Amino acid sequence: MSDYLPFTRPSIDAATIEGVAEVLRSGWITTGPQAKAFESRLSQYFGGRPVRALASGTGALELALAIAGVGPGDEVVTTPLSWVATANVVLRAGARPVFADIDPATRNIDPARIEAALTPRTKALIPVDMAGLPFDRDAVYAIARRRSLRVIEDAAQSMGATWNGRRVGSFGDLACFSFHANKNMTTAEGGCLVLDDEAEAARCERLRLQGVVRLAGGEIEVEEAGAKMNLTDVAARIGLGQLERLEEFNARRRILARRYFERLDRSLGCGLPPADFERSNWHMFQVLLPLERITIDRARFIALMHERGIGVGVHYPAMHLFALYRAQGWKAGDFPHAEHVGASIVTLPLFPAMQDGDVDRVCRALGDILAAHCR
């Protein structure tokens, strides 16, 4: 379908494509000078904090857990409403993810519910910036300080977002970003970990490549098992081009998000996201379908939107209801706010290359479909 509108699409300019071609022609395509340059630019962006580029945002979370000393017998408190990687990495570290319900207004973890989830085994917190809206850093860090906990910020979706005028990642503890193809800036696949300590940054660098330390004379030493999470120069060159345009991309996303608020028919009963144009980077524009008012389910709604040439995503089901986490003892009813949002949320198209008319088209299609299937 030639006029199909996906829910997201990366914007990669000709200069970046030519830059990637130059990297390929150079013969140095794995981690090298481009990756170093990308890390340097990211460090500048985050106010001079040390940054290590990685193969994925999931890898950033995994290494952050290792650096925080999380392991078997530990617990990590996080939200049930996120991409499942947020909790999977905790299990893979041998620890137990413990969920705390969301604030239904922000769709981020509710700081008031974190305290009840803490036990003597809690080692860290992983709050998530859902759809690019920053979690309440003041409240979460206050809890962490009182309990001497590490905070691993899952900022995978919030590149360019701010908290009280400061860029997310420019302060705080360990901050993990994703540069996946659907993010506000991309390296095709990739991510980074922002640290606040040079010693931990050096350890991150070791862990991302098998724990190897290179010695004089070409010798190496390995003192702990690492992983294979380095970012290639090909990916880093894409990232350099994307970072230069990040503010432009995010500004366009804000314009499109404002148009959604202007054009969506409030009488349809959809739950709208917080209209936060100061903090959010508008990674996604998500609404809650009024399932109690319509005669179709979410799958049918998505299919009908697709028939109109419009892509719609689901980000995310409540992860504690997956079989893996039911096996950990979680069940339906444990986190009602996350369950309600997870069952009814849909992601509407939002990306910088969209035209204003594309938003109007989405709103018309959504309105037509819901109006045709009212109870």
Q: Which residues are catalytic?
A: 183
Distance CA 143, CA 173 (A): 13
Give the Cα-Cα-Cα angle 289, 290, 291 (nearest 5 degrees): 90
The CA-based dihedral angle spanning residues 287, 291, 295, 296, taken in that order and rounded to the nearest 10 degrees: 60
Instruction: Give the distance from CA 203 to its chain's centroid.
Output: 24
Burial (0-12, 13-18, 19+ Cβ within 10 Å), 149:
buried
C-beta of residue 42 within 8 angstroms of C-beta of residue 243: yes
Give the Cα-Cα-Cα angle 372, 318, 252 (nearest 5 degrees): 65
Distance CA 155, CA 153 (A): 5
Which residue in this structure is represented by tokens 């200069």? Answer: 15
Sign of CA dihedral 179, 185, 188, 194: negative
C-beta of residue 229 within 8 angstroms of C-beta of residue 205: no
Residues 6+ apart with CB under 8 A from 320: 80, 99, 326, 330, 331, 334, 335, 338
Nearest Cα residue to 111 out of 123, 103, 99, 121: 103
Nearest Cα residue to 250 out of 326, 162, 368, 334: 162
